[in-house]
Structure 1
Amino acid sequence: MQVFLQLGLGLVLLASQYAPGTAVPSSGCRRQCGTVEIPYPFGIDPGCSLAEGFDLSCKVQDGVQKPFKGAFEVLDISLTEGTTRVLNYILGYCYNTSTGSMEYFGRYAGFNEGDPSSPYRFSDVQNKFTVIGCNALILIYDFDATGYQGLGVATCRNLSDLVDGSCSGMGCSQTAIPKRMYYYDIAFSEIVNTSEIWEFNRCSYVVLMEAAAFKFSTAYVSTNKFNETYDGRVPMILDWAMRDVKSCDVAEQNKTGTYACLSSNSKCVNSTNDQGYMCNCTNGYEGNPYLRDGCKDVNECNHNPCPSDGFCRNIGGEYQCSCGLGKKYIQKSNTCNTNIVLTIGVTMGIFGLMVIIMFTVFCGQIIMQKRKLKKVKQEYFHQHGGLLLFDKMKSEKGLAFNVFSEAELIHATDNFDNSRILGKGGHGTVYKGILKNMPVAIKRCAVVDERQKKEFGQEMLILSQINHKNIVKLLGCCLEVEVPILVYEFVLNGTLFELIHGRNQALQISFSTLLRIAHEAAEGLSFLHSYASPPIIHGDVKTSNILLDDNYMAKVSDFGASILAPSDKEQFVTMVQGTCGYLDPEYMQTCQLTDKSDVYSFGVILLEILTGQLPLKLEGSEKQRSLSLIFLSAMKENNLDAVLASHVKGQESMELLTGLADLAKKCLDMCGENRPSMKEVADELNRLRKLSVHPWARLDIETNAENLLGGESTSGYEIELSGYPTGESEDLPINPGSSYYAR
């Protein structure tokens, strides 16, 4: 009678209570254990899995984190295939030469009778019972779950009969298993053993393992190499699924209950190994179907699936190919072919019906274009915060701000005629316009970034309430265009840049007049920084943005392109703001625009007044190009006299000039925190202005400015200053033929 030693082998890792739910896991759940990703519905922390059956543990073994299910190490988890790869233990039956008897080795811990409600089943497709030996007879059975029983036999007379890679019974055999197995028993035959052939085959082995991971070697029979190669454990594949219902038909009827496919772009797939189901993303989507919004659209166009002369358009879950004019897309061959019949037919049809339908089509197109244009304008209006502006204007009836239509501004500028251009630059073009019998400056901005688009209406409300004698008044805007148009008050008499560097630079401008203009500009910037709510950072302070009105009073312009003082991550900008020569070096390093950035730029303006030089030259060495570097070097060498303009030294005391230079030096400090505030700068300029009035000639400064600028020039130059808030000049030095500059 045949005698077997029986071993019960049901996976304890499968014997976990299974009770699925639809709770969303916490965002704090760990999803990595060592190098293994732990996707939901699995989890390694309490409350992080779909059900107890999907709980894993993350342990440290040999100094490395590894995930385990019971006693079995988890190698990887596949959501799309519904499989888990684990390490199963090799069982051996060996002849002990010391005792002269057969003994068993291998780890049996982790096996018992299993649990039919577990999510796991042994993969019948990817696993095989593998037997190695020359006298091995092993019974494999599962009487309770499937009634299966199989026999693994491996025999050989001598080692020369064995062939590497062949596992067909000679020294090695592999046996398939049925579906639905969640536990199995193994029985070694005690009669068929290796006691008689121990000299060349001492052990027999059996294990359920991934078939693709095994390749037979003849050395496995004559040595312990099989156990040593795999270190006592081999890969095994487990099929997992939601086993609480039989199929998708039943599961989908209870979508509000325990249905696990939570993503809107997921689908239910019946398990191929016993009852139950799993979830997959639908075609054109990828990700985790067990999470809400876990399945994301795949952009197939990234892989260029269409013909090289065609066009790909990605749409939700799929893509569409199209071809150019006169070609037709052939899906079967994925090609663009010339559509001769269609081309000839359309041409003849258009020619024959042209006279009849021309008028109808023309009228229809006009109507459609008008409707489309109206819709686009409405979209732009809403996008730029037009409703917010209207609501605010209704609630504050005294608000001196207007929202203009595009038609009004077209009429005011003669359809933006070139003859109306006051100036242009990289950021826009400024036109002179007439609105309600009043001259205005209308600026068409070149671009507005996405952040400004979202907050444009809110920022316009804030900027419209800025009312200071030294700041150009923002009168209104137009929002029904892609890039909003700004409307400013019209300022007539040019810029401080022209006064210092432009065609009127030869005029004997009083230094006290320049000092007054600088002081007034500082007062305007101080107001933006300190008294506007919220504070406003100009971002492009320079002499060409300081305008002069009829009385040659300074007016800071172009603050409509500024930013509100930021309070969050939005203060870190990616596009460089400002003009070369005026840019804060600290901003260039941190990309953080602050009020001290304006202070630095204002320091450069003070240098222009003191030296009469441009802030940046295109010739010479690096140190000779930057006015600020030249100045700071001179201050360091205590040689201020070398950089001062000759006409400046002749007009004012060194006490005043030294004080102004010291103020400029503080403004140009490389560390923004060490720079004074704009209010402190304005106060210091006010103090210095008093020094410029000599005790023996206390003439009114404004009268002096009028005599120098408003009267007839003794140098023979006629003053023809004009200008408006525009920004940086396009060329340095300024073209004497143009008196207006825009950035």
Structure 2
Amino acid sequence: MVFQLVFQVIFLFCSLNPFLAEAQSITKGGCKERCGNITIPYPFGMETGCYLEERFRIDCNSSSIPTLDINGTSLEVKDISVDTANNIQVNFPIIFQNCSSKTSSRDSLVVNLEDTPFSFSTENRFIAVGCNNLALLSRNEATVGGCMSICNVSSSDASANGTICNGINCCETTIPSGLDFFNATLQVVGDKVKDGCKYAYLVDQNWFNLRLDNNISVIDMDYVPVVLNWRIDLGLYENMTLNGSAYRVTNLTSSGTSRCSQNSTFLRCSCSSGFQGNPYIPDGCQDINECQSSPNNNTICSWDLICQNLYGGHQCVKLEIKKSRVKMVGLGFGVGFGVLVLLICSWWLYKVIKKSRNEKRKKMFFERNGGLLLQEQLSSGEVNVEKIKLFGSKELDKATDHYNVNRTLGQGGQGTVYKGMLADGKIIAVKKSKVLDEDNLRQFINEVVILSQINHRNVVKLFGCCLETEVPLLVYEFIPNGTLCQFLHDSNEEFPLTWEMRLRIATEVSGALSYLHSAASIPIFHRDIKSTNILLDEKYRAKVADFGTSKSVTIDQTRVTTLVLGTFGYLDPEYFQTSQLTAKSDVYSFGVVLAELLTGQKPISSMRSEEENRSLVTYFIVSMEENHLFDILDPQVTMQGKKEDVMMVAMLAKRCLSMKGRERPTMKEVAMVLEGIQKSYGTQKSQHMIIPQEIEYDPNGFMEGLWDLASSDTTGSSSDSRLASSLDRKPLLINIK
């Protein structure tokens, strides 16, 4: 028992030996050792008398960030090595241009380490990222290094971030040995230059290779770590040792624990193999060996090593304690198993505490985001619970790949929309709000409840929401083909919007708004109808979107209205007098969309002259009154649409754009007129009508007839037949032969 106890004590000393070596001070006696989490070894120091010379002085500011001044430039110190390599790692700036994440441009950098103890290590690499980006290192107008990254439009963002520097969107090169001055610049090459962010930087190769494991994106940084070699000026060092102001390395030659190399100018030292510490202070290098294997395969612990640590290097008698290998393995297994159990328990405890904190945060967010109000609505029995789903934060986080920027569908004033895929394969759009007014939680929840019950083929479906996150998340069906605005105003020669598609989209949107105004269980006014809020699905069918559900709603016994203030160019002119948006406000905004569909022009455009009027509404109405309508129509409309059909839609748009709301039709009337035109267009197309070039008609009389018919209470086939009969009586239409 005593023998085993003695063995364990000696084994403990042997095990602690590396820690004793590491505990050996590597600073000058009586000097401060650390700044923040960085150890400052001699010949560096932070206080007068603690560093070899002024150029090795480290400043430790109030934030405990160590900095080194080199030729007037202050560089943040990340690490200092003295035992095996004389290196110091510091932060150096990145040069960049045309980068949206940067507030300014810095496309060149001059670094001067001349007349200092420092030079750039060959452990660094010069990296250039971007399309057709030529990055050069020059010295005295002579190029000493550089590389060029070429374009590849199919490359991923990973390549552009420098994940694989193979010359496509990212390249790297070495630097010459002993480099102490360079001028780094960026140049754009190629006849057709792809726009995009370009940047370059000198960086520690080891850090660059490991940055992916630490999930570090270089473009988000202003500085990266660079390795500098440092050395001691031999002449200055000898003068300082003569007057006693510096430690003297033993005869400036190799000893048993350290070795030094020198030339006529500089001195460098390092610890010998098997030793660790600081070779620039007396007895700074310590033996790090623990135990050795004896010829008879038993374990021998060096007692000399323990004595050296305990008694300052005095010679001691070696004590050999032999133990069978089986028992040693058993002891090692026991200790290892105990450590493993401790680690597993610590990990389990950490997970339990983390899970508990996450659950508390989710509960706090759920209550703050109106979860209790929503539960109150669901438990009241007035809401169809099956149509509302409360998504979990983990489910949506996984569906959007942790809200990856590559999944972004669009951004607006209220939040960002991400594309996601649920576990069952369903594609969704997740809207992440920027902020939520806590005073309007009840209105927000009311809108979620009501809009989730809308069931119309031309309204984007709200699947549900997530209230467990810092801001609410709304989950919609995914609409793949973007917005009507993109197809109207962004040139797309491969797939232009035909007259038939424009007429169908207008009919579908008017039907959706008519449903919201009059057919829904509670009337809903959209109040922000515009071409960017009309989405197109895989068959280019219209879907009305964005009801402002991330804002607030007002609910009473008769109607629900969102409090979105509208968009300039689409906004009802009566709003400026009454500060109220009504159902007729949606009619006016829809009239602007009709004018967009007919002309292909934006509601407000600087391309039109002041004489033509910047406002599309005024430009459109004036052109109709002066009989110049067909001069401003989109070519797709004039080439493909029948003149009488185009004039009917134009007159309908003009009535919707009346300055006074009472003079505008209802959305139900608008939908009936467009449905009649679309049916007439389909009949004419199927029977190949012969259309005369010039047609006389009375537009005012015609439109009044349509309003009278649309406002009647008849429905079903009777209504359709009356509409067809009315249309047949008007001189605008052609009899089928």
Q: Identify the TM-score tier after normalising by the shorter chain.
A: 0.3 to 0.5
Q: Which has the higher contact order (CA 8 A, sep 6+)?
A: 1
Q: Of Structure 1 and Structure 2, which has the larger fraction of its residues in helix?
A: 2
TM-score, structure 1 as length reference: 0.42
